[in-house]
């Protein structure tokens, strides 16, 4: 029988290995140089007037469609609702320095994995709370709508569903940017099965995790800590449900609506639905990809290009036992 001293030493070794496994995505980016230029366009625009509008249009022509008359822009500068959003955004993002540091780290991580990456100019704007376009990545430009990050309890968002506004926080800004930078790298999937769709999302989550290794898992998913805990505790039961309902290799489009697209909850058509977070299929895709990375030698960059169903077979994924 193992004596107490040896048992303690074995436990410490196991904990050490576990920590190493958990930290494997932490990479050294200190030697990588990026230029994180920030253009506070919303400040320039709402502090402008008819006299300097022509110069503003000349400098930032990509934000002024030619079909719009100058009166449209001048009216926007004086619109009470827009000025309210402007004042609110300035109270939350006075200097943008904290966000710039986070985005600089993000850019360095992207360049670590993809050395050919050129960091875009960061352009802060207001969008009248266009939450479907909080961040837009257009090659050399990265547009960030500050009025979608004022804090989930801000009065501007009164009446918005909780599942939409819960990520209207400063802490989620870099996550949204990471998602926009990760999405173009992942090529379209050949297979349209449910498991392939989950893994397609899981690949994106893995890239985001690699780009933002210091960000908590629930924040990466856009979950509250309670929602992440629900997913972890329920993992075995949910996977069993997917298997019993023969969903994994189904190509039914409604499965995306039920388990992958943003929603107030996932739709099992059971009593547990109201307790579940939306997008649970995305979370499962992430777990499958993590299992693949733990059981295979491929790098993140190599993993991205592996066929989804091949990845699933090689992942050896097994849900954790119910807590």
Domain ranges of the chain: 38-184, 188-315
Residues 6+ positions from 62 with CB-CB distance below 8 Å: 141
Measured CA distances, 145 to 77, 127, 190 (Å): 17, 6, 33
Report pTM.
0.91
Q: What's the confidence (pLDDT) of residue 322?
A: 60
Q: Are strands 38-40 and 121-125 parallel, antiparallel or unpaired?
A: parallel
The alpha-helical segments, DSSP class H, found in the chain are 4-22, 41-46, 53-59, 70-78, 80-92, 97-113, 162-165, 173-182, 194-211, 217-221, 225-244, 254-259, 280-295, 300-304, 308-315
Q: Is 138 helix (H, G, I), strand (E, B) or coil?
A: strand
The pLDDT tens digits along the chain (323 residues) read 445 444 444 444 444 444 434 445 689 999 999 999 999 999 999 999 999 999 999 999 999 999 999 999 999 999 999 999 999 999 999 999 999 999 999 999 999 999 999 999 999 999 999 999 999 999 899 999 999 999 999 999 999 999 999 999 999 999 999 999 999 999 999 999 999 999 999 999 999 999 999 999 999 999 999 999 999 999 999 999 999 999 999 999 999 999 999 999 999 999 999 999 999 999 999 999 999 999 999 999 999 999 999 999 999 999 987 64
Q: Which is nearest to 202 in space by CA: 273, 282, 261, 260?
A: 282
Q: What's the confidence (pLDDT) of residue 200?
A: 98
**Quick one: 239 exposed, middle or buried, by C-beta within 10 A (0-12, 13-18, 19+)?**
middle
- The 10 Å Cβ neighbour count of residue 223 is 23
Q: What's the confidence (pLDDT) of residue 3?
A: 52
**Quick one: 39 exposed, middle or buried, by C-beta within 10 A (0-12, 13-18, 19+)?**
middle
Q: At what angle do helices 280-295 and 225-244 cross, to 10 degrees?
A: 80
């Amino acid at each position: 029988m193992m004596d107490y001293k040896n048992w303690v030493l074995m436990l410490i070794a196991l904990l050490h290995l576990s920590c190493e496994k958990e930290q494997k995505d932490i990479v050294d980016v200190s030697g990588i140089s990026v230029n994180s230029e920030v253009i506070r366009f919303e400040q320039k625009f709402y502090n402008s007037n008819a006299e300097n509008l022509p110069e503003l249009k000349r400098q930032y022509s990509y934000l002024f469609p030619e079909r719009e008359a100058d009166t449209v822009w001048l009216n926007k500068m004086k619109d009470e609702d827009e000025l309210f959003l402007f004042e609110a955004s300035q109270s939350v993002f006075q200097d943008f320095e904290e966000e710039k540091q986070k985005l600089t780290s993000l850019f360095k991580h992207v360049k670590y994995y993809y050395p050919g990456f050129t960091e875009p100019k960061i352009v802060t704007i207001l969008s009248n709370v266009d939450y479907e376009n909080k961040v837009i990545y257009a090659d050399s430009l990265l547009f960030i709508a500050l009025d979608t990050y004022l804090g989930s309890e801000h009065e501007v968002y009164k009446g918005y569903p909780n599942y939409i506004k819960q990520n209207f926080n400063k802490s989620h800004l870099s996550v949204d940017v990471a998602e926009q930078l990760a999405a173009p790298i992942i090529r379209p999937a050949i297979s349209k099965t449910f498991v392939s769709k989950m893994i397609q999302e899981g690949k994106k989550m893995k890239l985001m995790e690699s780009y933002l290794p210091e960000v908590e898992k629930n924040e990466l998913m856009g979950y509250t800590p309670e929602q992440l805990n629900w997913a972890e505790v329920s993992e075995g039961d949910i996977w069993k449900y997917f298997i019993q309902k023969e969903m994994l290799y189904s190509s039914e489009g409604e499965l995306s609506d039920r388990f992958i697209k943003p929603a107030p909850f996932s739709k099992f058509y059971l009593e547990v639905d109201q307790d579940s977070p939306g997008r649970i299929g995305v979370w499962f895709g992430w777990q499958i990809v993590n299992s693949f990375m733990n059981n295979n030698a491929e790098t993140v960059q190599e993993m991205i290009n592996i066929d989804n169903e091949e990845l699933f077979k090689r992942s050896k994924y097994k849900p954790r036992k119910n807590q």
